[in-house]
Structure 1
Amino acid sequence: MQPFVYEGLPSRVVFGQGTLSRLEEELERLGCRRVLVLSTPQQRAQAEQVLAQVGERGAGLFAEAAMHTPVEVTERALRRVEALGVDATVAIGGGSTIGLGKAIALRTDLPQVAIPSTYAGSEMTPILGETRDGIKTTQRTLAVLPETVIYDVDLTLTLPAGLSGTSGINAIAHAVEALYARDRNPVISLMAEEGIAALARSLPVIADTPTDAAARADALYGAWLCGACLGSVGMSLHHKLCHTLGGSFDLPHAETHTVVLPHATAYNAPAAPEAMSRIARALGVKDAAAGLFDLAGAVGAPTSLGTLGFTAEDIDRATEIATRNPYWNPREVEADGIRRLLADAQAGRRPAGEEAPS
């Protein structure tokens, strides 16, 4: 066994059905008296319900969260925080809203309660990705880790089947990269394999029967595990590519992760055989990359970047950005290989794996 370091992250998780009812209790525990509720414009009605639920603790609502956490949106939210004398934020929604809460915390050190309604996993990580002038950058600091995460299975019952599939595979991506991360460890590897397996068995059920509460609970459990993996160890090629495609080409977050994951996995397969074996075992297939591609198809998720608006003419620019300052990766990140990877993902070709260059 290789030497390792494991450090547990200091966040509190409340998991179950109907757990949103415990929000006031959790705010009391944190000593919060004036909270700003955050959401996207699409989830404003849900955020208004949360604001009403917290009663006198509710200082106001900011419903302008956007994909890839644009800095200009954060600056508007900060002006609202200052004007209202806020002492905490409550973010309800997916990665866009939770990312905004993190961006506010980074600049103010305000405590956060995160209430995820998708499987994105951002709520379990000390990672913030922000976009400024068309470039998305990330940083890792405990200052952005939410103090409390409330997982309520009931909130996911109305998540559309299509979004459930892409959000769930986005979560799987966190666990896949955790299995070959430079700072991987046995505890996180166990969580990663379990998280992949939970999502792989539940997402096809949800695609057929979105209101299946047992499958929803399994998927949310898997998303929690996968998010904890991302929060505990480093990111590699897959996330670098998705940050490039999202921040510089404005591609949708979860769908981009879904399309890129099989191809990034195939690229790294020759350099990470043990990780590939664990991924394949969790999926119940022989080949990890092909299995991930087939899972996307089974849940009706996109399998081509072309369908998301990424063209063949974009490949060279994306390759240049993604290879300019690459994250650590088990296989060397070289431009020709990344160009082929992006071409395959753009066209929607099923990965067959490739041998690493000697």
Structure 2
Amino acid sequence: MRFEHETLAQRVCFAPSEASAVVWAEVERLGASRVMVIASASEADLAKSVTSDVPVVLHHDEVVMHVPVASAERARAAATAHDVDLVISVGGGSTTGLAKAVALTSGLPVVAVPTTYAGSEATSVWGLTEGARKTTGVDAGVLPRSVVYDATLTLSLPVGLSVASGLNALAHCVDSLWAPRTDPIDQALAGEGVRALAAGLPAVVADPAGLEGRERMLYGAYLSATAFSSAGSGLHHKICHVLGGRYDLPHAQTHAVVLPYVLAFNAQAAPQVERRLAEAFGTASALEGLQRLRRTVDAPVALRDYGFAEADIDDAVPVILEAAPPSNPREVTADGVRRLLRAAREGADPAA
């Protein structure tokens, strides 16, 4: 066994019903006195409640999916104008992504308070979109210094969005098992993440007001993101980044739809990964376990439901080929990508 694994420097606080007190304590610990709070307009009241004891000098609510460069520049300018010394993000992946964009150029510390299962808060990955192209990178400076997980903050997340967000987290796990820098530690984290998410997601659907399922989901989302940040982006994420940035498809739903097709594409070429996933799902095969979970939670089915057109397939293929990792278990060809995208657009049986 020979590998190198780097553990990210981050403080993680699981604090059910105590987000406000823990956020204040983290701001105090970091010595901040001029705080910028980033939260979408729809979560403004929640963010004000969470940061009620914090010395806030700026509330910023221009949160846009896939973090357009122009939006990032306005947030950076606002932080500079208000002499901000710390950023708090309250929200999902787009909100955390905007906070990371500010940190990328300013070096400001970030405290992340997730309200979804996106996992961006536990990674050093940033992403920006300009025109029709999404660019991602890795920078230790964008990793939030602290993450405050409070399951009560996810109670307002509708079941449908909980499902899509949870499957996005599951995609982090699956991709981490065969990503370019994967190692045994990443794979252990990903396997435990699959078990937590596969148990938590049906519980959220069965009892949306219950906390146990949502706490399992946050735990699984954190594990999945930690594994993903170390292992890097595999084929699944490269495909979804192209689809999201180029065609403005919704992030979580795109991941939820594409995942079974990438799993089916790679499974036979990665039998050890397939067995590990099957064991985590408790089924005879990984695809069977994933599809059973998807049926149980009524997962998103087809990319066409989110605006991906037939004509977009041939346009996307060369861009995906350019982005696909050379280390993918199975050779990525134009025909293979075309068939995968067509099946995902139509919602066809991934086993076929």
Same fold (TM over 0.5): yes
The residue that corresponds to 1:17 in the other structure is: 16
**Amino acid across the alignment from 1:213:** L
**Amino acid across the alignment from 2:340:** L
**Amino acid across the alignment from 2:50:** V
Q: Which moved more, 1:61-70 or 1:316-325?
A: 316-325
Write the distance in 2 (CA, Å) between the matches of 1:293 and 1:191.
22
The residue that corresponds to 1:356 in the other structure is: none
**Amino acid across the alignment from 2:203:** V
Write the distance in 2 (CA, Å) between the matches of 1:292 and 1:61.
40
The residue that corresponds to 2:128 in the other structure is: 130
Q: Does 1:38 find its partner at 2:21?
A: no
Write the distance in 2 (CA, Å) between the matches of 1:330 and 1:304.
25
| 8 Å Cα contact 1:192/1:225 also seen in 2 | yes
2:304 match: secondary structure: helix
| 8 Å Cα contact 2:88/2:99 also seen in 1 | yes
| 8 Å Cα contact 1:93/1:116 also seen in 2 | yes
2:52 match: secondary structure: helix
Write the distance in 1 (CA, Å) between the matches of 2:105 and 2:269.
39
The residue that corresponds to 2:61 in the other structure is: 63
Write the distance in 1 (CA, Å) between the matches of 2:40 and 2:259.
26
- Give the C-alpha shift of residue 39 in structure 1: 1.1
- Give the C-alpha shift of residue 50 in structure 1: 3.2
1:124-157 deviation digits (Å, cap 9, x = unpaired): 0000111011100110110111110111111112
1:76 match: secondary structure: helix
Residue 350 and residue 290 in structure 1: after superposition, are their counterparts in 2 closer, same or farther (change >3 A)? farther
Q: Does 1:339 find its partner at 2:338?
A: yes
The residue that corresponds to 2:47 in the other structure is: 47
Scaled by the length of structure 2, what TM-score is found? 0.96
Indicate which of 254, 267, 273 corresponds to 2:252. 254
Q: Does 1:103 find its partner at 2:127?
A: no
The residue that corresponds to 2:266 in the other structure is: 268
- Give the C-alpha shift of residue 41 in structure 1: 2.4
1:159 match: secondary structure: coil
Write the distance in 2 (CA, Å) between the matches of 1:158 and 1:317.
37
- Give the C-alpha shift of residue 51 in structure 1: 4.0
1:52 match: secondary structure: coil
Write the distance in 1 (CA, Å) between the matches of 2:80 and 2:180.
40
- Give the C-alpha shift of residue 96 in structure 1: 0.2
- Give the C-alpha shift of residue 299 in structure 1: 1.0
1:265-319 deviation digits (Å, cap 9, x = unpaired): 1111122111111111111222223432332232122111111111222111111
The residue that corresponds to 1:279 in the other structure is: 277
1:317-349 deviation digits (Å, cap 9, x = unpaired): 111221123234222211100000001100101
| 8 Å Cα contact 1:207/1:300 also seen in 2 | no
Indicate which of 175, 178, 183 corresponds to 1:177. 175
The residue that corresponds to 2:164 in the other structure is: 166
Write the distance in 2 (CA, Å) between the matches of 1:236 and 1:43.
32
Write the distance in 2 (CA, Å) between the matches of 1:156 and 1:64.
21
| 8 Å Cα contact 1:35/1:90 also seen in 2 | yes
Scaled by the length of structure 1, what TM-score is found? 0.95
Write the distance in 2 (CA, Å) between the matches of 1:345 and 1:254.
15
1:49-70 deviation digits (Å, cap 9, x = unpaired): 234331xx11110011111111
Alignment of 1:234-245 (within 5 A): 234-245=232-243
Q: Does 1:28 find its partner at 2:21?
A: no
2:312 match: secondary structure: helix
The residue that corresponds to 2:223 in the other structure is: 225
**Amino acid across the alignment from 1:242:** C
| 8 Å Cα contact 2:24/2:51 also seen in 1 | no
Unaligned runs of 5+ in 1: 354-358
Unaligned runs of 5+ in 2: none
**Amino acid across the alignment from 1:98:** T
Write the distance in 1 (CA, Å) between the matches of 2:142 and 2:322.
26
1:60-102 deviation digits (Å, cap 9, x = unpaired): 1001111111111111111211111100100000000000010
Write the distance in 2 (CA, Å) between the matches of 1:138 and 1:218.
28
| 8 Å Cα contact 1:115/1:151 also seen in 2 | yes
| 8 Å Cα contact 2:180/2:325 also seen in 1 | no
Q: % of aligned pairs identical?
A: 45
